[in-house]
Amino acid sequence: MTSRLSSVIFSSVLLVVAHAFALDRVSGANETFNIEPGARSAALGSATMAIDGDYLGLLSNPYQLANVNYGWASLSHTEYYEDTRYDFASGVMPLGEGQGLGVSFGRYGANDIPYIKEGEPLPEGDIYNTLSIADYVFSVSWGRRLTDRIDLGVSFHGIYRDMDQSGWGFRGDAGLRYKVIERLYVSGLLKGWTSSATTWESGEFEYTSPEVYLAATYSVPVPYLYGKLAFYWQGAGLFHEESRAMTFETDEDVGARLWEDPLDWLSGGKGGIEFNFDFGLSLRAGLSSFTTFQSVTAGAGLTIAKFLKIDYAFESHPTLSPVHRVSVSISPYLFSNKPKAGTPEAYVPKRTRLTEEPEENDSMEESGVEIQETESVQEMASESDASQGVVLEEPEESVNKPVIIESDDEVLE
C-alpha cells in the first residue's frame, strides 16, 4: 500500500512539473551569449576563444583573466541592420598574481518598433504605437593560472528577455588553455556545463545541451617590420550538428561532427590573422565562417600611451547588411602609473640593425675619425722620439768623434 501511494505521488509530481514547464530541447537557446561584442575579436572572425587581452570577450574566454595585471574598463557599440544595436561593457581586475575577476553587462535590442494590435484599424499618417524588445546580459568570470602551462577559466551568465513576454535565462561555461610550446596555445571550452536554459512568462522552458569547442593561436615575431604576426582559429562544436548555411535559404545544410567528416567540421570553423606593430598599431583580417568568403572581416586597433586602446571592425555577411563595430578600453592604473616591471606593458622592443654594412656617410665619418686619431698618435710618437734623440745624440757624437793630435811632424801649408 505504501509503495503504491509513493508511486502515485511521484507520478503526480511529474505530471505537475511537466504541465508547468513544457521542456523543449532547442538549438540556440540564449543565442545572445554567442554574439561577440568586442571589435578586436569581430575583426578576427570572432575567434574569441583564441584571443588574449580582449576583455570584451569574457563570454567565451574566461581563462584569459589568468594574465590580468591591471584593471581595465571596456565599452563597445555595434550598429546592426534595421536599427538593432548591441551595447556592451566589461571591467576586469587582478586578484593577485595569476588570477583575475571580470564582470560584464550588455543590451542587445531594438527601439521604436511600430506595431498594430490585433483588431485595431490601420492608423492614418505616421502615427503608430511603438515598442522595444531587448535582451539584457550580465556575466561574472574568473580565471586562474594553475601551472606555467595551464590556465583555468569559469564563468556564469544570466539574461533577462523583454519581448512580447518576459523571460529569464542562464548558462555556465568552463575552459582551459594549454601552452604547447613557446608562442603556441590550444584552448578548450565547455559551453553550457549547466546547459543553456530559458524560462518564459508563459511557463515554457527551453534548453540547449552542453557543447565543447576547440581553439588555437600561434604568434611569430617579425623583426624586419618591427612587430609580431599572430594566427587565430576556433573550431565548430564537437558533439552536435550545427548549421553551416549563412543565407537562410535552407535548413538542410547541417554540418557533420568531427569524427563523421573532418573536412566538413573544419569548414565550420572561423579564424583570423593579426599584425601588431611595436608602436601600437594593429591590422586585422579574418573569416567568420570558412564556408564562404562573403563572411570576411577586417579591422584595426591603436594603443595610445599603454593605457588606451581603440578598436574598429567591419563584418560582411552574404545576406544581411555589413556591420560596423567600435570598442574602447582604458586602464586607470596605467593612466597614472608606469607599467609594473616584468609585465608585457613594460616591455620595450629592442631595435637592432638588420645589416652589418654601415651607411656611406657613417663609414666616411668613422674613417675620418680613425685617420685623425692615427695622425695624432704618429705626431705624438715622432715628438717623443725627437726629444729623446737630442739627449742621446750628443754623447754618441762625443764618443765616436775622431781625435786629431797635432805634432811637429805635420807639414802645414
CATH number (domain holding residue 202): 2.40.160.60
The mean pLDDT of 26-54, rounded to a whole number, is 89
Report residue 392's pLDDT band, with 50, 70 and 90 as the boundaries.
very low
**Which of 29, 140, 42 minimizes the C-alpha distance to 86?**
42
Are the CB atoms for 75 and 39 separated by under 8 Å?
Answer: no
Instruction: Give the dihedral of Cα atoms 308, 276, 286, 50; nearest 10 deg.
Output: -80
Are the CB atoms for 44 and 60 separated by under 8 Å?
Answer: no
Examine residue 1 and state whether it is found in any structural domain, yes or no: no
Examine residue 390 and state whether it is found in any structural domain, yes or no: no
Examine residue 242 and state whether it is found in any structural domain, yes or no: yes
Q: Mean pLDDT highest for which of 58-67, 203-212, 311-320?
A: 58-67
Contacts of 197 (CB under 8 A, 6+ apart): 29, 30, 169, 170, 171, 205, 206, 207, 208
Instruction: Please give the residue range of the domain that contains residue 284.
Output: 43-340
**Which of 204, 241, 224, 237 minimizes the C-alpha distance to 354?**
224
C-alpha cell at 380: 705624438
Q: Could you give the CA distance from residue 183 to residue 175 in angstroms, rounded to a whole number?
A: 19
Question: What pLDDT score was predicted for residue 395?
Answer: 46
- Please identify which residue in the block is written with the cell numbers 595569476: 98
Question: What pLDDT score was predicted for residue 253?
Answer: 55
Report residue 294's pLDDT band, with 50, 70 and 90 as the boundaries.
confident
Other CB atoms within 10 A of residue 369 CB: 10
100 or 292, higher pLDDT: 100
Examine residue 20 and state whether it is found in any structural domain, yes or no: no
Across the chain, mean pLDDT equals 80
**Which of 153, 135, 123, 126 minimizes the C-alpha distance to 63?**
153
Examine residue 167 and state whether it is found in any structural domain, yes or no: yes
Examine residue 12 and state whether it is found in any structural domain, yes or no: no
Question: What pLDDT score was predicted for residue 290?
Answer: 87
Backbone angles phi, psi at 152, to 5 degrees: -115, 145
Instruction: Write out the DSSP string of 388-409.
Output: HHHHHHHHHHHHHSPPP---TT
Q: Does 344 score more than 90 pLDDT?
A: no
Residue 12: DSSP 8-state? H
Which helix (H) or strand (E) segment is 168 a member of? strand 166-181
Examine residue 34 and state whether it is found in any structural domain, yes or no: no
Other CB atoms within 10 A of residue 387 CB: 9
User: Residue 146, CB half-sphere, CA atoms under 13 Å: how many?
Assistant: 12
86 or 124, higher pLDDT: 86
The CA R_g of the chain, rounded to the nearest whole Å, is 38
Q: Could you give the CA distance from residue 166 to residue 161 in angstroms, rounded to a whole number?
A: 5
Residue 147: DSSP 8-state? S
Other CB atoms within 10 A of residue 166 CB: 11
Q: Could you give the CA distance from residue 234 to residue 274 in angstroms, rounded to a whole number?
A: 15
Examine residue 292 and state whether it is found in any structural domain, yes or no: yes
The 3-state DSSP class for residue 10 equals helix
Residue 321: DSSP 8-state? P
C-alpha cell at 114: 511600430
Total structural domains within the chain: 1
- Please identify which residue in the block is written with the cell numbers 569581430: 42
Residue 176's DSSP bridge partners are 152, 188
For 198, left (φ over 0), alpha (ψ -120 to 50), or beta? Answer: beta
The mean pLDDT of 254-264, rounded to a whole number, is 73
Which helix (H) or strand (E) segment is 231 a member of? strand 227-234
Q: Does 302 score more than 90 pLDDT?
A: yes
Q: Could you give the CA distance from residue 322 to residue 288 in angstroms, rounded to a whole number?
A: 13
338 or 216, higher pLDDT: 216
Could you give the residue ranges of the DSSP H alpha helices within 243-359? 262-267, 332-336
Question: What pLDDT score was predicted for residue 271?
Answer: 95
